[in-house]
Amino acid sequence: MRERYLYHVALLCIQRAVPQRVNRFMLTLLGTLTLGLTGCAGDLSILDPAGQAARDVVLIWWIMLTFATVVLIGVVALWLYTFKRKYQERTPQEERKIARRWIIGGGILLPVLSVTALLIFGVPTGKRMLPLPLSQPPEVIEVIGHQWWWEVRYPGAEGGEVITANQLIMPAGEPVDFHVTSADVIHSFWIPRLGGKIDMLPGRTNVIRLEADAPGVFGGQCAEFCGTQHANMEFYVEAVEREAYDAWLAERQEERLAERALANDDFAQARDEFASTCANCHSVAGLSASTIGPDLSDIGARYTLGAGTLPMEEGAIHYWLENHQTLKPSNKMPSHNYMDTATLESLGAWLETLTP
């Protein structure tokens, strides 16, 4: 809605400022470009880098854009020149000589120079993202893509592996190696403000090294079409100081999460309902350990539900349980129409308490 409003405001301003004789096509083009610029900011903007790898990618992008703009201007200028110049008779030898110059200049030299410049800037950038050996081994976070959600594992956590879903925490100011794979189809792991993307392939683990300059929250997105709900396969990354990161991992040890899940006797019936139905697919520390669906042990502390489909707020889980196939069609979660509203409300309220 906001983008549409900005588009119409920009178009109106242009129409008033530009003489009527200007082609309306140009007005529409300028308005559309203005609308496009509204997408150049926010959590998924590559133009707002928050890490060195992302800055390198943006630098290459600007270089390519500048070069492409120069080429476009040159081509348009030549095109306009052909309408302005007077026709001159030339001999066949002169025609061949001119054609040879254009072939050598535009068909050989220009592509060679373009590709060479791109390699000069691109190869070092790609190398910096490779997980090359470091004097201090980096933090490792494992990410597994599913249709259509993200499984996140911290294998190096003291006290045992930590498992969560659809959002991840990483230490700021130090490199982190993301080991990514897929449980079903090809996905692509991408945090635009931190660096490039990498494919997630079934049966294969790829590694990408990223680093956040400072604490902050960044958006992530699957960048490879993976089915009908590809657009609703988002995640959030929160970069924190090392002390906060270690504390976050400690809070998510299974014993602490289980204690939290079993603490409130007011939700005993909801826990029993979960154990008899939801536990067939989902895991909650102290109750179940199924890995078919996302781990829900800390679901109350997440930013969103359904991998970015709904914001996490009071009553959101209950709403999701009643409407998940409407909100995110074709997801693998079965219908809950056999449960009454009171049961779903109680189940949702209990799940919202699952915060470390």
Summarised one tens digit per residue, pLDDT across range 32-46 is 555 555 555 567 888
pLDDT (0 to 100) of residue 7:
47
Least confident of 140-154, 212-226, 246-260: 246-260
- The tokens describing 299, both together, are 């679901």
Angle at 57 between CA 56 and CA 63, to 5 degrees: 90
> Tokens in use for 97?
């000589």
This prediction has a pTM of 0.78
pLDDT at 225 over 90: yes
User: What distances in angstroms separate CA 73 from CA 70, 79, 207, one per listed residue?
Assistant: 5, 10, 40
Residue 328 pLDDT more than 50? yes
pLDDT over 60 at 96, yes or no:
yes
Helix (H, G, I), strand (E, B) or coil at 177: strand
Predicted local confidence at residue 143, as pLDDT? 97
Q: What is the pLDDT of residues 72-94, one digit of tens each?
A: 998 899 888 888 877 777 788 87
Q: What is the mean pLDDT of residues 4-26?
A: 52
Per the CB < 8 A criterion, the answer to whether 194 and 54 are in contact is yes
Per cent of the chain over pLDDT 90 is 37
331 class by beta-carbon count within 10 Å (0-12 exposed, 13-18 middle, 19+ buried): buried
For residues 52 and 266, which has the higher predicted lDDT (pLDDT)?
A: 52
Q: 200: pLDDT confidence band, cut at 50, 70 and 90? A: very high
**145 or 3: whose pLDDT is higher?**
145
pLDDT value of position 32: 57
**Distance of alpha carbon 152 from alpha carbon 161, whole angstroms:** 10
**pLDDT the model gives residue 2:** 47
Please indicate whether residue 36 or residue 247 has the higher confidence score (pLDDT).
Answer: 247
- Residue ranges of alpha helices (H) inside 48-109 are 52-84, 92-102
Other CB atoms within a 10 A radius of the CB of residue 186 amount to: 14
pLDDT class for 67, splitting at 50, 70, 90? confident
Most confidently predicted of 8-22, 23-37, 110-124: 110-124
Which tops the pLDDT comparison, 308 or 338? 308
Mean pLDDT for 255-273 is 81
Q: DSSP for 303-332?
A: SEETTTTEE--TTHHHHHHHHHHHHSTT-S
pLDDT score, position 5: 45
Confidence (pLDDT) at 209: 92
Q: How confident is the model at residue 131 (pLDDT cuts 50, 70, 90)?
A: confident
CA-CA distances (angstroms) from residue 229 to 117, 149, 262, 308? Answer: 38, 10, 34, 11
H or E stretch including 125?
A: helix 110-128
Mean per-residue pLDDT for 324-333? 90
Mean pLDDT is lowest, of 3-17, 180-194, 213-227, 272-286, for: 3-17
Residue 143's H or E segment, with its range, is strand 139-146
The kind and range of the H/E element at 351 are helix 341-352
The pLDDT of 157-168, averaged and rounded, is 86
Mean pLDDT across 224-232: 94
Which residue intervals of 194-305 are DSSP H helices? Answer: 242-251, 254-261, 268-276
Q: Which amino acid is at 341?
A: T
Q: Kindly report the number of other CB atoms within 10 A of residue 135's CB atom.
A: 4
| Average predicted confidence (pLDDT) for the chain | 84
Residue 216: beta bridge partners? Answer: 239
pLDDT for 320 equals: 92
Ramachandran angles phi, psi of 280, nearest 5°: -65, -25
pLDDT at 175 over 50: yes
**Among 292, 151, 163, 145, residue whose Cα is nearest residue 222:** 145
Q: Which of 158-162, 201-205, 255-259 has the highest mean pLDDT?
A: 201-205
What is the pLDDT at residue 26?
Answer: 58
pLDDT at 36: 56
**For residues 185-213, average pLDDT:** 95
| DSSP symbol at 138 | P
